[in-house]
Amino acid sequence: METITSFSPGLAVLVSLLGALMILISGRRPNIREGFSLLAGITKFGIVASMIPVVMSGKLIELRLWDVLPGLPIMFRVDAFGLLFGLIASFLWIFTTLYSIGYMRTLKEHAQTRFFFCFAIALSSAIGIAFSANLFTLFIFFEILTISTYPLVVHIETPEAMKAGRKYLLYLLTSGVFLLFSIIAVYHYTGTTDFAFGGIIAGNGIPANMVILLFVTFMIGSAKAAFMPFHSWLPSAMIAPTPVSALLHAVAVVKAGVFVATRIILYIFGIDVMSETGLALAMAYVVAFTIIVASLFALTQDNLKKRLAYSTISQLSYIILGVAMLTPAGITGGMMHILNHAFMKITLFFCAGAFIVASGKEKISEMNGIAKQMPFTMIAFTVGALGMAGTPITAGFISKWYLLIASVEISQIPLLLVLLASTLLNVAYFFPIIINAFFKKPERELSYKEAPLFMLVPLLLTALISIIIGIMPDEPLALVSIAVQNLIGGT
Amino acid sequence: MVLEMIFAKYNYIIYITLMTIGFYGMIGKRNLIKKLIGMSIFQYSIFLFYVSAADVSGGTAPILLKEPAVYVNPLPHVLILTAIVVAVSTLAVGLSLVIRIYREYGTLDEDKILELSK
Amino acid sequence: MITDHLPILLIIIGFFGAFFTPIIGMIRKKLCSPWATFITMLQFLISLLLLYNVLAAGNLSYWLGGWQPPWGIEYAVDILNAFVLVIVAGVCFLVSIYSRKSLGLEVPGKEIPLYTLYIVLSTGMLGIVITGDVFNLYVFLEISSLAAYALIALGGRQSAMASFNYMIMGTISASFILLGIGYLYVMTGTLNMADLSILLPGIYGRPVLLVAIALIVVGLSIKTALYPLHTWLPDAYTHAPSAISALLAGTFTKVGIYALIRVMFTVISPSYVIETVPVMSMLTWLAAIGILAGSILAIAQYDIKRMLAYSSVSQIGYIILGVGLANNIAMTGGILHILSHSLMKTGLFMVSGAIIYRTGIKNIYQLKGMGKKMPYTMGAFVVGALSMIGIPPTVGFASKFYLAWGALEAGKWVFVIVILLSSLLTAVYFWRIFENVYFGVHETEEIKKDEAPLSMLIPIVIFAALVFLAGIFASIPIEVIKIWVIGVLP
C-alpha cells in the first residue's frame, strides 16, 4: 500500500494544542478566548478534511516524529478508519464550541478558561488517538485524554463532583495501567507496537493462554469504551457540564475507548487470531450482554443525562459487537455506528443541555409538556431518539441494518435477537419522554423559552446531519469500505 | 579446637565484642550521650580490626633498612588515621547536636524528647 | 592540558570553594550564596565536559599525584559515573540558585556555615561518584554525610533530633561499609576498584567475601534508605530546611545507589552477585516491598514534605528493583530512574519549599486555592506529580516503562504488578493535593496572585521543563545508559 509522508496529522494534533495555549493566554478576555477556540476548531477540521482525498484514493499518510524511547517513536498514520474518527471528533468540536459558548455564558459558569483550555487539550489527544500509528503513541494520547478531561468532569467542584471525579480517575487510570501492561507485553513478545492490517500477534509463538490474558488486559485497558462491567464511571461523569457530556462522553472519550478497542481487535490481534481463539465470539456475547443490561438500566433513570449515559453504554457496544463479528458487514456496521451514534447522541445531549439552560430541568419526570415551550429542541430530540431506535431514514438505521446482516451471516441467532430486543428497549426508554413532552400537560404553567441561538443552532444542525447521513450514506460508507477492504482484502 | 581458634584470632573476638557493645549502646540506650559513646566504641572497634589485621608478628616499621626484614604494611594504619579523623568529626557533630537538643528540650532522654516533640 | 585534569579539578574546585566561603562571607555575607552557585556551576560544567569526553573518547582514568594505581588513588570515569555526576552537579547547581531566598528565610543569618557545608556536601557527593578507590569512596561518603547532618540540623525545632537519628544510622552504615572494605582489603591487598575486580574472582569461593558483600550491601542500603532501613529519611527530609530537603532528595540517596551499582557490578562481577549469591534477588524483594510500603505510608501523611519523603522511599525502591533485576532493560530503567527521580523529587521539594516560603503552610489540606495564588509553582508541581505517577510524556513514564518491561523480561510477574499498582497508589496521594489546590474554592473570595520570587521560580520551572523534555526525548539518556549497561551485562 502506498504511503506518503506529510505533516498534516501532526499539524492536526498541534493546532488545538496551540489553541489551548492561546486560550490560556487570552483567558481574561472571553471574546478573544472563544474566538481562538473556534478558530482552532475550524482550522483543525480543515486540516483533517484536507486528508480525505488522499485516503479516499487508497493511500496512507504517515508522519514519523522522534523516538521517545528507543524503537518506540511518536508516529502518526492516517488510514480510513482513523480519518473517520478524526473527522467526527474535529467536526463536532466546532459545534460543541459554539454550543458551549452559549451554555457556559448563559449559566455564568466559573473557570471558563480552564474549561476551554482542557477541552482543547482533550480534543488534541482525541485526534492523536485517531491518527496514532502504534500503540505507544496511542497510549500517550490516551493518558493525556484521561488527565485533561478530569478538570472538566469535576468542573462544578461540589463534593459530589469531586467524588465522581475520583471514580472517573480510578476507572480510567486503572484501565490505563492495564493498557500499559498490555502494550509492554506486546512489545516484549513481538518487538513492535505498530498497527498492522493483519494484526501483529500472529506468528510470534505467543502461548495461547497468554494471548487470551493479553486480550483480557487489553479490553480492561480500553475501559474508556464503558462496556460492562467497566461502565460505571460514565453515568457518574454526567455531573460534568453538558457540553462536556455531549462531546467527550458521547463522542471523544468513550469513542476513543471504542476506537482503541477496535484498533486492538482488528489491528493488533487481527481477524485470524480473533476467530481462531474464539475470543471474538466471547467478546460479542459480553457486549451483547452490555447492550441489553445497559438499556434496562437506562429505563430506570429519571435524570435525563444519566439515561443518555446508559444509552451510550448500550450503543457503544453495538460498535464493538459489529467489529467482533469479524465479517465485512459487521465491521462496516460497527464503524458506521461510530459516525452515526456521534451525531445522534450529541444531538440528544445538546437537547438535554438546552433543557437545563432554558428551564433548569434535569429530570425526565419534570419535562411534561416541555415541547410547547421548546418545540425546536424537542423536534431535534425526537430525531435523535428515532435514530437511536434505528428508524429508517435516520442515520441509526444504516448501521443497524449492517449489524443485522452480519449477525445473520455468522448465524448467531442470539445476537440477532439482542439487536432486535435492544431496538424495542430504545423505544421503551426514549418514547415516553417524547410523548410526555408533546402531549402531557405540565403541572404548572411554564414560562421559559427556547435556549439561546448559540445552543439551538448547533443542535438543529447535528439533528439535520444525522438525517442527511441516513438518506445519503454514500460518502462515509465509501470511507468505511476502504477501511474494511484494507482489513479483509477484497469484497 | 574451638578454644585454639579463639586464641589464634583473639583480635577478631575482641573487635566483635566491642562492636556488639557499641551497637547495643547506639540502639539500646535511651540517653543521647550514651548513644554517642556507643557510636564511638562501635567505630573504634572497626579501627582495631584494621590495625590488628595488618599486623605481622615480629615485623618492624617499613623504614629503609640495610638488609631485608619483615615489615608491617603501613597502609591500613594510614587509612585508619583518616578514619579516626572522620570518627572524631562525627563525634563533634554529634555532641554539638546533643547540645542543641538539650537547649531545645531540656532533657537528653530520647523517650521524653519524642513526647515533647509531638 | 587542563582538560586532562578535569576529574581532580571537579573535587579541588569544590574544596577550594568551601575553604574560601568563610573568607568571602567575612567581606559580605550576601556573597556566600552567589559564590556557592558559582562553584557548583563550575562543577556542573566540568561534569558536562566529562560526560562529553567519556562519550567521545571512552573511559578516563586519572591518577592522583601521578601515582600509578593500584598504589595511588585513581579517579576512574566511565559513562555511569559521568551520567550520575551530571545529575548530581546539575541538581546542586540549580538548588543553590533556589536556596538563596528559601534558606534566607528559613535559616536567617547563617549564610557562612550554610554555604560552606553546601559546597562540601556537593563536593563529597561528586567525590563518591568519581572515585575509583573503595577507601576513598568511604571517606567521601563520610565527608558528605557529615555535611548533611549539619545542614539538616539547621532546620526547625525538631531538626536536631532528626539529624541525630540520621547520624546514628549513617554512622552504622558507614562503619559497615568501612568494615566490608576492610575485609576486601585483607583478602586482596588492594583498594583500587579495577584491581579488586581482577583479584576478587580468585577468592569467589571464600565465605569471608560473603561477609564483606553483606556488610557493604547493608551499609549502602541504609544510605539509600532502602526499605526497611529507611527510618532516618522521613524525619530528616521533613525537618531539614526546604532547600536542603530538595538537594538531599535529588542527590544523596542516588549517590548511595550509584555506589551500590558500582560495587556490585564493577568491583564484584554481575554473574557472582546474580547467580552464585542471591544478593540481587534479595534486594529486589526488599525493593518491591519498599515500593508498596512507601506509597502506602505516603498516603497516610498530611505534611507535604513528609509525604514526599515517604514517596522517595517508594521511588528508591523502583531504582533498586531495576538494578536488582539485573537484566539489561530493567537496569537501564533503574539508572534512568535515578535521573527521573532526581528531576521530579527535587522539583517537588522545591515547590513545597516555595509554598512554605510564601505561606508557611505544610499541611496539604490547607492548600486550598494555591492553584490561583501560585499558578506557575503549582503548575510545576502538577508536572512533577504526573511524572511520579508515570503519565506520559514525562520522564517518570519512560523509566516506569523500562522497569515494567525489564520485570517482564525477567519473567517476574509479581514485580510488574507491583510497579503498576504503585503508580495507582502514587496517583492517590498526589491527587489529594490536586483536589485541594485546584478545586473547591471558586465560591470563596477572590484570591490574589502571590507567586514565589523569581530566583525560586526559575529553578522550579527549569525542573518541570526538564521532567517534560527528558520524557519526550527519553531515548537520548536511554541510549547513553545502554552503552554502559550492555558493557556490564552482556
pLDDT tens digits, residue range A1-49? Answer: 678 888 888 888 888 888 888 888 877 787 888 888 888 888 888 888 8
Residues of B in contact with C139 (CB under 8 A): 82, 86
pLDDT tens digits in sequence order for chain C, 490 residues long: 567 788 888 888 888 888 888 888 888 888 888 888 999 999 999 999 888 888 888 888 888 777 777 777 888 888 888 899 999 999 999 999 888 888 878 888 788 888 899 999 999 999 999 988 888 899 999 999 999 999 998 887 888 888 998 999 999 999 999 989 888 888 888 888 888 888 888 887 788 888 888 899 999 999 888 888 888 888 888 888 888 999 998 888 899 999 998 888 888 888 787 777 788 888 889 899 999 999 999 988 888 889 999 999 999 999 999 888 888 888 999 999 999 999 999 999 999 988 888 888 888 888 777 777 888 888 899 899 999 988 888 898 999 999 999 998 888 888 988 988 888 899 888 888 888 888 766 555 566 777 778 888 899 999 999 998 888 888 888 988 888 888 888 6
* C182–B90 C-beta distance less than 8 A: no
Residues of C in contact with B92 (CB under 8 A): none
Q: Residue C83: helix, strand or coil by DSSP?
A: helix
Chain A CA closest to residue C431: A166
- Of C248, C241, C243, C146, the residue nearest B96 (C-alpha): C146
pTM across the whole model? 0.90
- Of A410, A388, A387, A252, the residue nearest A331 (C-alpha): A410
| The CATH fold of domain B2-116 | Helix Hairpins (1.10.287)
Q: What's the total number of domains in chain C?
A: 1
Q: Residue C227: helix, strand or coil by DSSP?
A: coil
Give the three cell numbers for residue A60.
496512507
Q: Where are chain B's structural domains? A: 2-116
CB contact, 8 Å: C471 with chain A? yes
Task: Give the separation between CA C94 and CA C460, rounded to whole angstroms.
Answer: 9
* Distances in whole angstroms, Cα of residue C441 to Cα of each of C118, C366, C368, C444: 40, 12, 7, 6
- Which residue of B15, B52, B90 is the best one to mutate when testing the C interface, meaning the one whose CB has the most C CBs within 10 A? B90
Q: How far is A130 from chain C (nearest CA, A)?
A: 17
Three-state SS string over A64-97 comes to EEEEEECCEEEEEEECHHHHHHHHHHHHHHHHHH
Which of C386, C393, C424 is closest, CB to CB, to A177? C424
Omega of the bond prior to C477 within 30 degrees of 0, cis?
no
Query: Could you tell me which residues are beta bridge partners of residue B109?
Result: B31
Secondary structure (DSSP) of A131-186: HBSBHHHHHHHHHHHHHHHHHHHTTT--HHHHHHHHHHHHHHHHHHHHHHHHHHHH
Quick check: is C436 in a domain? yes
Give the three cell numbers for residue C127.
567525590
- Which residue of B9, B32, B93, B103 is the best one to mutate when testing the C interface, meaning the one whose CB has the most C CBs within 10 A? B93
Which pLDDT does position C123 carry in this prediction?
92
pLDDT tens digits in sequence order for chain A, 491 residues long: 678 888 888 888 888 888 888 888 877 787 888 888 888 888 888 888 888 888 888 788 888 888 888 888 888 888 888 888 888 888 888 888 888 887 777 777 777 788 888 888 888 888 888 888 888 898 989 888 888 888 888 887 788 888 888 888 888 888 888 988 888 888 888 888 888 887 787 777 778 888 888 888 888 888 777 777 788 888 888 888 887 887 776 677 888 888 888 888 888 888 878 888 888 888 888 888 888 888 888 888 888 888 888 888 888 888 888 888 888 888 888 888 888 888 888 888 888 888 888 877 788 887 777 777 788 888 888 888 888 887 777 888 888 888 888 888 888 888 888 888 888 888 888 888 888 888 877 777 667 777 777 788 888 888 888 888 888 877 888 778 877 877 776 43
Secondary structure (DSSP) of C143-182: HHHHHHHHHHHTSSTTHHHHHHHHHHHHHHHHHHHHHHHH
Omega of the bond prior to C393 within 30 degrees of 0, cis?
yes
Alpha-carbon torsion angle C190, C191, C194, C198, nearest 10: 30
Chain C segment 392-451 residues within 8 A of A by beta carbon are 392-393, 398, 401-402, 404-405, 408-409, 416, 420-421, 423-424, 427, 431, 435, 438-442
CA A258 to chain centre: 7
Task: Count contacts between A and C (CB, < 8 Å).
Answer: 73
Q: Residue C61: helix, strand or coil by DSSP?
A: strand
Q: Where are chain A's structural domains? A: 278-491
Task: Give the separation between CA C323 and CA C221, rounded to whole angstroms.
Answer: 13
Contacts of C341 (CB under 8 A, 6+ apart): C250, C254, C312, C315, C316, C318, C319, C399
* C474–A66 C-beta distance less than 8 A: no
| C-alpha gyration radius of chain A | 21
CB contact, 8 Å: C113 with chain B? no
CB contact, 8 Å: C204 with chain B? no
CB contact, 8 Å: C483 with chain B? no
* B94–C164 C-beta distance less than 8 A: yes
- Of C45, C94, C152, C118, the residue nearest C345 (C-alpha): C94
* C160–B93 C-beta distance less than 8 A: no
C366 is in which domain, residue-wise? 278-490
Residues of C in contact with A169 (CB under 8 A): 427, 431
Report whether A286 contacts A227 (CB < 8 A). Answer: yes
Q: Residue C95: helix, strand or coil by DSSP?
A: helix
* B42–C160 C-beta distance less than 8 A: no
Q: How far is B34 from chain C (nearest CA, A)?
A: 12
Which pLDDT does position C276 carry in this prediction?
76
Quick check: is C311 in a domain? yes
Report whether A19 contacts A39 (CB < 8 A). Answer: yes
